[in-house]
Amino acid sequence: MSVAVDVAVIGAGPGSLTAAAYLASAGAKVVVLEATDVAGGAGAAPVDVGGLSVPGTPATLHALDPRVVMDLKLTRRGLRFSVRDLPLVALRADDRLMIDRDRHATANSLAQLSHRDATRFDEFRRDLFAAARALRALWWEAGVPPDASTRSNLRRLGMLSAEAMLEAAFETEAVKAACGFDALQAGISPSSAGSSLLLAWRAAQEMCGLQGAVAIPRGGGPTLASTLLQAASEAGVELRVGTKVASIHVDDDRVRAAVLATGEFVPARVILSNLSRRATLMNLLPPEAAGFAMVTRLRDERTVGEATILMTLNAVPDFAMACPLARFVMVERLDAVVAAHTEARLGRIPTEFALEAVIPTASDPGLAADTTLLCVTVRPLPVAPAGGWPSHVAELFERVVQRLSHHAPRLRSSITGLNVVLPRADQDRVTAAHIASDWPARLATPVEGLFLCGDAAEPVPAVSCRAGRLAAALASAYLKWGAP
């Protein structure tokens, strides 16, 4: 048996490192137990692309909690952004739109297709941003209960699909499709009730002081992981890599210890889990501890996800020649993506998927020396296609390259390396009810002293670290006063 700690944290992802750093700074004795040999989460390990080692995904950040950046002094520790706010360039067969923070530039671009949409877009964004700001009270602002109008707004959005929201707002397919890409997250169909909350959640985020911005961290994903690790270790967190937790010992309805695969007990008053709710409650707890109804609900697996294809190129793609610093979104029609979602849910690679391409090396050439790194996010895709992913990877590459080639004819010949980060199978199924839930409900579990601090505790899975900060607050309160 190990020495007892105040808090044992399962997994060393961004959320759990954040929680550990906060708790250790507050004086708690914290140990982080990471099953793999690399701490920092999926983005911390480099990826091999054509023999070149490039930083792991994600290439961009859109939801990082500014309070975490400030409290843990991440900027001082080296977290810098090479681009603070990427504009969105929508590429379609016949048109190209740019949606920028500059409202005049955006209006001018949209006016090529529709004057009504050009006028309407600014109003739409303003309304969405205002509604989204109010919903922060629900999603993460501790101590600020959402007011009546926010609750009513939440109910409205909880019933509204992203497709219906965009259909009502705009007349041109190009604008709907461009705005709709951000609603293709978390495996929810843009036509399902409540999917408009995804757009609101995205709009509620603040990156680099700008609401709804998308930023590129200098040095890529590993920079965030290394700064968090530094913060955690300076605060006194003990990190144990290569340490797999096999179960959580529960006695009298409260956690007592993390039990390692080696059989070792790590006694702890609080356990934070960076794993999915499903993995935490179904795999680590005794069957009855999580509650029968809860476990039955968790048996519904997530079926739709997204993949990221990393390409190294010896030339900048044609579509990015004029303006390489942008998110290039390729969605022909929003209704086609809705159909694609259905195909993905049935385990098929969709006929027509949506792409988002970003070139991190355009702003940070040091990421991949003398080469262009292209990160392409593909949505929606089946988490477990029929026959398994190995038999579909070549087909996926071919179809993505084909699609990109419409806007960059010389792309195929410029590819020097390819790799793919497949849809994650370890994530929980996200529902509109989950996104609309209060933050304490998302972090809490049925077992006293056990909280979630990773993607599972976020309204929408993303690199945010916010769940870690909030889990630390809950854990501190529990250590001090016990269960409420």
Partner 1 sequence: MSTDLRATPFHARSAAANACNAWETRNGFTLASHYGDVAREALAARFAAVMVDLSWQPRVILGEPTAPQFASRLFTRDVSQLAPEEAAKALWLNDDAGVRGVGTVVRLDRETFVVISATGDLPWFRDAAVQFKAAASEATGQGMLALVGHMSDRILRAAGLDPSLRPMTLRRTFWRGLDVTLSRLGLGYELWCEPDDGSIVWDRLVAAGRSFALRPAGQLAMDILELENGVVRPGRDFAPAGEAGGPTVQDLGLSDLVDARQPFNGRAAFRRAGSPSRLVGLVFDTDAPMPETPLVRNGDKVGRSLGALHSPAMRQPIGLGVLDGGAPDSELIAGSVPCRAIALPILPIPAPIPPTTEVPPPPV
Are 420 and 397 in contact, with CB atoms under 8 Å apart? yes
* Amino acid in the structure at residue 96: R
The least distance separating partner 1 from the CB of residue 300, rounded to whole angstroms, comes to 12
Residue range at the interface with partner 1 (CB under 8 A); choices 53-61, 135-143, 232-240, 284-292: 284-292
Residue range at the interface with partner 1 (CB under 8 A); choices 8-16, 76-84, 93-101, 442-450: 442-450
Cα separation, 48 vs 373, in Å, equals 12
What is the DSSP annotation of 147-190?
-HHHHHHHHHHHH--HHHHHHHH-S-HHHHHHHHGGGS-TT--T
CA nearest to 87, candidates 66, 109, 65, 69: 109
The token pair that represents 215 in the structure block: 């930023």
Which lies closer to partner 1 via its Cβ, residue 146 or residue 449? 449
* 446 binding partner 1? (CB under 8 A): yes
Instruction: Work out whether strand 5-10 and strand 30-33 pair parallel, antiparallel, or are unpaired.
Output: parallel
User: What track of x and - describes contact with partner 1 for positions 285 through 304 (by CB under 8 A)?
Assistant: --xxx-xxxxxx--x-----
Which lies closer to partner 1 via its Cβ, residue 363 or residue 437? 437
* 253 binding partner 1? (CB under 8 A): yes
Q: Which residue has the tokens 């997204």?
A: 306
Residue range at the interface with partner 1 (CB under 8 A); choices 85-93, 144-152, 445-453, 461-469: 445-453
CB atoms within 10 A of CB 379: 24
Cα separation, 456 vs 453, in Å, equals 7
Which lies closer to partner 1 via its Cβ, residue 388 or residue 484? 484
CB-count burial class (<10 Å; 0-12, 13-18, 19+) for 436: buried
* 472 binding partner 1? (CB under 8 A): no
The least distance separating partner 1 from the CB of residue 477, rounded to whole angstroms, comes to 17
Which lies closer to partner 1 via its Cβ, residue 292 or residue 369? 292
The token pair that represents 169 in the structure block: 């707002």
The least distance separating partner 1 from the CB of residue 290, rounded to whole angstroms, comes to 8
Which lies closer to partner 1 via its Cβ, residue 306 or residue 428? 428
Which lies closer to partner 1 via its Cβ, residue 287 or residue 366? 287
The least distance separating partner 1 from the CB of residue 278, rounded to whole angstroms, comes to 13
Which lies closer to partner 1 via its Cβ, residue 295 or residue 339? 295
Enumerate binding residues for partner 1 (CB under 8 A): 253, 287-289, 291-296, 299, 446-448
